[in-house]
Chain A
Amino acid sequence: MTRKVLLADDHALVRRGLRALIDSYDGFEVVGEASDGREALALCRQLEPDLAVMDLSMPGLNGLDAMRRIVKAVPTCNVVMLSMHAAEHYVIEALRAGACAYVIKDAAPEALEVALVRAGKGLRYLSPPLPASLLEQAARMDNASIDPAGSYLTSRQREILQLIAEGHSTREIADRLHISIKTVETHRAQLMQRLGIHDVAGLTRHAIRCGLISPDT
């Protein structure tokens, strides 16, 4: 069964390139092209594609806002967000706005194919080098009753809190994040002070409460 794909990118040459690439994948067919968010929304309503591959930053109606409206208007359409941004702020924002998959434009072309295959089945996907933990994080941020204090941590603090809660040592955290041990210690001290929690068990409970890790890990 061939899945219908709508393509939205403000740059015609990029659209042509994407189209050539997607048409070369088995089981996908590009049925329409839009050059901005508004057009994408209109075409989705009209063509009811199975998938929409959209650039995150577009003029007129930007990709994020267009997607919010598309997932509402055409619930059967899963959105693969394309973006040059690898910063987690964008990824989480896109996932929370309803993206099924998030693919960095500079990722290998296979990533787009994987994203389409998975999103075609309604499964979520992040292209490398994005960590899969962002998926859980975004999902839990929506579902869990978020402890207000948890949302006032910086992204670095959340990252370190999560790694501590998962049982990693200071050295492991430093290696993983490419920062010094002293920096990890400073952040840990600051986040403990911020949360008013001074032991690892307490931090772990807090991480579960605000959705950074799941209770069964």
Chain B
Amino acid sequence: MVIQRNKDSEPAARADALAAAEQALRDSETRLRLAMHATGLGLWDYRPGQERVGSNEEFAVLLGYEPDSFEETRAAFVERLHPDDRAAVRARFRDYLDGQCADYAVEFRMRTRSGEYRWFRSVGQIVDRDPAGKPTRVVGTYLDITAQVNAMRRLSELSARLLQVQEAERSKVARELHDEIGQQLTAIRLNLHAIAREGGLSARVEDCLSIVDDTLGRVRAQVLDLRPPMLDDMGLGAALDWYCRRQEERAGVSILIEGVEGLARYGEEVEITVFRLVQEAVNNALRHGRADEIRVTLHDVDGLRVVVEDNGVGFDPDDQVQRAHHEGYGLSAMRERVALAGGRFDLSSAPGAGTRITVFLPRQAGRRS
């Protein structure tokens, strides 16, 4: 029986057990330190009400200080935060202590010793409370995520750039098809008609004419799919009006569009972005949402506000898999593109309640600082 033997154990045995326990504690601390070192995790240990904040060596290293001479304080932490992040981080921490939110996990910029700001992710947890339930100790970690943040930003820029390149390519191919191939075919067609008028309509000429007509039809359809000339000729309002009617006839659903008549002209970047966005949203509503009624609303409010809503099956936007399925690549890339144009993108949906996409674009597309 373990308990009995402990009770009656000799002093020497007790010393052994103590030594073993101390060794185990040292091992565990070493393991923790190694783990923190290996993962580059800074540790913070905060007791509400006290100015001094506990920290490990990694923390000092992350910020570019000598571990031996580094001492963390509450005031130093607040002062080190990027001015744009300060209010949000403090509010989030307060909310966590007050029990307003279930966890504390935030990403923000901190100034390092050299004066450079780097991105950190901080995760913390309340580990002690007083008898009244007030938190008395919160322990957490810092991770430098600057590389990830930069990579994500680069990724966003790349996917937006991809769309721009695709758009330019499409535009080029559409122009080539329309201006060159389409015109050549038209010329052949006119000549064939002239031949027919001179020498009578032979079966061979008739065949040629029907082949040319068919090919011309295909070329025109391709041009429309690639980049409707109407967008450049007549503007966004006319192009969307035309597109919605065409889809309505093709898909047999109702597409209501408001605000296109008398719509002002916008910069090319804004017009093509909105056109593609509506195209993408309508396609998604038809393909994934199985909607039979879609509403597209445009509203000029010192910029362009576009809403596309459908009465389809909807989905849970918090479910990554569902979202990826419903949004598809096009729409998620569109998010980036709207952001790059300095606009805002918002999607709301719920199972059984359709999907609603709201986008606001400034009059002239441009990156917001």
Contacts and interface: CB of A to CB of B under 8 A. Distances in A.
A172 interface: no
A87 B239 CA distance: 10
Interface string A55-69: 001000000000000
Interface stretch (A16-24, A29-37, A124-132, A200-208): A16-24
A14 B182 CA distance: 10
Nearest to A194: B258
Interface string B38-67: 000000000000000000000000000000
Interface in B174-209: 178-179, 182-184, 186-191, 193-194, 197-198
A3 B234 CA distance: 33
Given A17-B191, A57-B229, A105 B245 contact: no
A183 B244 CA distance: 12
A155 interface: yes
A109 B192 CA distance: 10
Contact of A13 (B183, B233, B253, B293): B183
A182 B253 CA distance: 8
B257 interface: yes
A152 B190 contact: no
A194 B260 CA distance: 14
A102 to B, nearest CB: 15
B254 A187 contact: yes
Nearest to B257: A154
Contact of B261 (A85, A93, A151): A151
Given A106-B220, A155-B245, A178-B249, A13 B184 contact: yes
Interface in B212-261: 213, 216-217, 220, 229-230, 233-234, 238, 241-242, 244-245, 248-249, 252-254, 256-258, 260-261
A148 B182 CA distance: 39
Interface in A1-19: 11, 13-14, 16-18
A16 B217 CA distance: 22
B180 to A, nearest CB: 9
A114 interface: no
Interface in A83-141: 84-85, 87, 89-90, 93, 105-106, 109
A106 B213 contact: yes
B233 A24 contact: no
A14 B254 contact: no
A153 interface: yes
Given A85-B229, A152-B261, A154-B261, A183 B253 contact: yes
B186 A105 contact: yes
B191 to A, nearest CB: 5
A154 B242 CA distance: 10
Nearest to A84: B220
B193 A109 contact: yes
Contacts of B252: 179-180, 183
B187 A21 contact: no
A17 B190 contact: yes
How many of chain A's residues touch chain B, expressed as a range? 35 or more
A13 B254 contact: no
Contacts of A179: 248-249, 252, 254
A156 B246 CA distance: 10
Contacts of B188: 17
A84 B182 contact: yes
Given A151-B261, A186-B293, A190-B256, A24 B187 contact: no
A57 B249 contact: no
Given A151-B261, A152-B261, A154-B260, A17 B186 contact: yes
Nearest to A148: B262
B261 A87 contact: no
A89 B241 contact: yes
B261 A21 contact: no
A106 B260 contact: no
B233 A90 contact: yes
Contact of A17 (B182, B194, B213): B194
Contact of A182 (B194, B254, B262): B254
Interface string B295-317: 00000000000000000000000
Contacts of A105: 186
B184 A87 contact: no
A109 B190 contact: yes
Interface in A151-173: 151-156
Given A16-B187, A106-B216, A156-B248, A24 B194 contact: yes
B187 to A, nearest CB: 4
A132 to B, nearest CB: 19
B242 A87 contact: yes
8 contacts: A20-B191, A87-B238, A87-B242, A109-B193, A153-B261, A179-B248, A183-B253, A183-B254
10 nearest A-B residue pairs (beta carbon): A17-B190, A13-B187, A20-B194, A11-B183, A183-B254, A109-B193, A186-B254, A89-B238, A17-B187, A14-B187
Interface of B: 178-179, 182-184, 186-191, 193-194, 197-198, 213, 216-217, 220, 229-230, 233-234, 238, 241-242, 244-245, 248-249, 252-254, 256-258, 260-262, 292-293
Given A109-B197, A177-B249, A178-B249, 17 more contacts: A11-B183, A16-B187, A16-B191, A17-B191, A20-B191, A57-B229, A84-B178, A85-B233, A89-B230, A90-B233, A106-B217, A106-B220, A109-B193, A152-B261, A179-B254, A190-B258, A194-B258
